[in-house]
Structure 1
Amino acid sequence: MPNLPLPFFTALFLCFILLRLMVGYGRKLPPLFVITISLYALQSVLLGIKWGMGGLPPWALAGLALLLPPATWLSFLQLTDQMSKKAIIWTAGATVLSLSILILAPGFNIPVLIDLASVTIYLGYGFLFFRSATTRQWEWTSRLPIDQMLPTRQTQLIAGAVFSTSALVDLAVAIDFAVNKGSSAATIVGTANLFMLLSLIAIVVLFGRKPSAPQPSNQPTLKQVEASDEQIALVAALDQLMRDEHLYRDENLSLDKLARRLRVPARQISTAVNTLREINLPQYTNGFRVAEACHLLETTDTPITTIIFEVGFTTKSNFNREFQRIAGKSPSAWRKEHRTSTSVEIA
């Protein structure tokens, strides 16, 4: 059996994640995001060739490594509808500068500039992601579809951690070459790729969990917590709006849209829902979606794949996860159980 370097397994796992996303989102997946994930997979392949087989030009891996942070940042901006000419110009300028250093540094016999540029760039983009994820007033999230609000923030934190870790790995490899002539570089890179692979697996497992929860209801019971009269009235109005106008069916429903309909600041809505229901806004919205899905499963022969989009979900995986979380069973099991109950009652 051939001895495949660990980065190859990381590349295969990235390809698996990309295929899973493409199946789930189809044409809704931005092309720049697909390209970025593909670049990460290519980087893992090149790392496997360099540290497992050798014979790879140093500039190939270094050039690709300098392209990944700006590509990731622009993908994030595109996914969150924040892409602007200013952002593109600044990112392109930083990328050209870093690639210029890569090209010119060998001619001036200053290889340390390449390592310094790589560490600086990765730390810089790591800081950008951390800052964007942790800033208190990230108003742009109110324009996102509600289901993307929390995953977007988690993704930023993960990206910030990955870039910061990559910067430390590059620094450790550079120090090893300076002190030990690179005797431990392969071990350092291999350990970093193992960490990345385990992190990717952990993320997939974490987001794929299906915890159980109480039976769905069109109007979840209010929690016995301290809340102002204004918050109670606001959530009651939101419940009424959801029931009467079925806003949850809009797959692009955002906090900003709800704020305009209720004529209150966006943050007041999410705060009120968190306080009274002890759930976040995406979970609140999905509660209404699952409740209608349960009704359709019980009373119609509509295919589950059709129901998914009718009630406002955008992917089958998200629908199945939220249905399991709220109803405590799969959609097909719910339909079978309630159809059986109905048949027994009629008989």
Structure 2
Amino acid sequence: MPSLPLPFFTALFLCFILLRLVAGYGRKLPPMLLVTICLYALQSVLLGIKWGMGGLPSWSTAGLALLLPPATWLSFLQLTNRFSKKAIGWTAGATTASFGVLVVAPNFNIPSLIDLTSVAVYLGYGALFFRSATVKQWEWTSHLPLDQMFPTRQAQLIAGAVFSTSALVDLAVASDFALNRGSHAATIVGTANLVMLVALISLVVLMSRKPSVSQQPEAQNEAEKVSATPEQVELVDALDQLMRSENLYRDENLSLDKLARKLRVPARQISTAVNTVREINLPQYTNGFRVTEACHLLETTDTPITAIIYEVGFTTKSNFNREFQRVTGKSPSTWRKESRTSGVTEPA
């Protein structure tokens, strides 16, 4: 039974993730991310042509497939301000080695070496994404705009999962050909295609649906709550005062590092204090100030909602609407209409 190749869904899946990150970063599009998205688009087109009409040399899609993991990795490094000559050097060296195998293997009649190299590359970068997202995350998220800390980490986890899944499926198919002459290969690929397609559709639905109050995380049980120390309460009070006196929340690029420098305390202490004292994360805390000012502007001025979004520090309309709904339980337009009738100017 003919089926779309798994790399097609892998490219489509990761391209969607990168495009979501682009939307979150507003107009600022890092060059490496643009290059990577173009590579994914080209890979999808080539695989579609090869699947539908054939005639493309195998090295064209194989070579491009080997470029996708390092390009994606460099994109994330640039997004998280970790783009350095050392990182480029290591990535370029590993990529050159994998392409060396692609060139040498046919000359020695070892086609399986190409498959094993592809599996190793995808597994390696999958592990790299997992490690980056879970180990020492304070070192690479603290300088990101607050609204991008968690989406960027989640995107890395998804990228790691997709690369690893693609590699494991390729390994399973290669093993089946070696042990069973490929008798189960069609089933393996077909099942993997179905899983990837369902995952892609689920991700699109999840990221496209409108937020609601019922989707907010449930409050912690009393037994699970950690009591805030006097130092943490004092730190959050100081942060409150700093936010109000300097209107720091209006800075769309406000980061944990900037707050740490202002308060002269370690970045991790700030985030932990906000989580413990207010029981929300730092982006939600900052967005609370933004929503409060937005409510005031909606009630007291005729400024268009689209202008208010950027004036109070949000970078995207979707994030503004989601956070406004979370804080007030209403849409911005409904709030403007009702607040002018009732005289309420701040969220409860």
Q: TM-score, normalised by structure 1?
A: 0.86
Residues 148, 23 of structure 1: alpha-carbon distance in 2 compared, 3 angstrom cutoff: closer
Aligned to 2:194: 194
Give, in angstroms, the shift of residue 339 of structure 1.
2.7
Equivalent residue, structure 1, for 2:149: 149
> Contact (CA 8 Å) 2:176, 2:183: kept in 1 or not?
yes
Residue type matched to 1:257 in 2?
K
Residue equivalent to 1:69: 69
Percent identity for Structure 1 against Structure 2: 78
Shift in Å, 1:318: 1.1
Matched residue, 2:174: 174
Contact 2:119–2:171 (8 Å) recurs in 1 = yes
Alignment pair present for 1:133 and 2:136: no
Amino acid at match of 2:63: G
Ranges of 4+ aligned residues in structure 1 off by more than 6 Å: 6-21
In structure 2, do the counterparts of structure 1 residues 15 and 118 end up closer, same or farther at CA, with 3 Å as the change threshold? Answer: closer
Closer/same/farther in 2, CA of residues 297 and 29 from structure 1, 3 Å limit: same
Task: Give the 5 Å matches for 1:153-302.
Answer: 153-182=153-182, 184-208=184-208, 209-212=210-213, 226-302=227-303
In the other structure, the counterpart of 2:100 is: 100
Structure 1 position 179, deviation (Å): 4.0
Q: Structure 1 residues 88, 58: CA separation in 2 closer, same or farther (over 3 Å shift)?
A: same
Give the RMSD, CA atoms, in angstroms. 2.7
CA distance in 1 between partners of 2:139 and 2:24 (Å): 28
Gaps of 5+ in 1: 214-223
Q: Which amino acid aligns with 2:197?
A: L
Cα distance in 2 for partners of 1:271, 1:145 equals 17
The answer to whether the 8 A contact 1:30-1:79 is kept is: yes
**Aligned AA (1:212):** V
Check conservation: 2:21, 2:151, Cα contact below 8 A.
Answer: no
Preserved contact between residue 286 and residue 322 of structure 1 (Cα < 8 Å): yes
Helix, strand or coil at the partner of 2:213: coil
| Matched-pair contact (CA < 8 Å) for 1:11–1:42 | no
CA pair 196-36 structure 1, distance change in 2 beyond 3 A: farther
Taking the aligned partners of 1:312 and 1:87, their CA distance within structure 2 comes to: 32
Q: Give CA-to-partner distance per residue, 1:105-132, whole Å, 9 cap, x none.
A: 0011011210111111111111111111
Q: Give the deviation of 1:53 after TM superposition.
A: 4.6
Structure 2 counterparts to residues 15-34 of structure 1, below 5 A: 25=25, 27-34=27-34
**Contact 1:51–1:186 (CA under 8 A) maintained in structure 2:** no
Amino acid at match of 2:40: Y
For structure 2, list consecutive stretches of 5 or more residues without a partner in the other structure: 215-224
Q: 1:197 to 1:44 in 2, by over 3 A?
A: farther
Give the AA of the match of 1:164. Answer: S
Look up the match of 1:86.
86
Deviations 1:179-203 (A, max 9, x none): 4544554553343333233323333
Within 1, Cα distance between the matches of 2:179 and 2:52? 22
Tell me which amino acid in the other structure corresponds to 1:334: W
The worse-fitting range, judged by mean Cα deviation, of 324-333 and 255-264 is 324-333
1:60 aligns to 2:65 (yes or no): no
Judged with a 3 Å threshold, the aligned counterparts in structure 2 of structure 1 residues 258 and 26 are, in CA distance, closer, same or farther, namely closer
Cα distance, 1:288 vs. partner? 0.6
Contact 2:173 2:188 in 1 (8 A): yes
TM-score, normalised to structure 2, is: 0.86
Q: CA deviation at 1:68?
A: 0.5
Match of 1:124?
124
Aligned residue for 1:297, secondary structure, equals helix
Instruction: Name the CA distance, whole Å, in 2 between partners of 1:178 and 1:250.
Output: 58
1:220 maps to none
Q: Deviations over 1:55-85 (max 9, x none)?
A: 3321122111100100000000011111000
Deviations 1:242-269 (A, max 9, x none): 1111100001111111111111111110
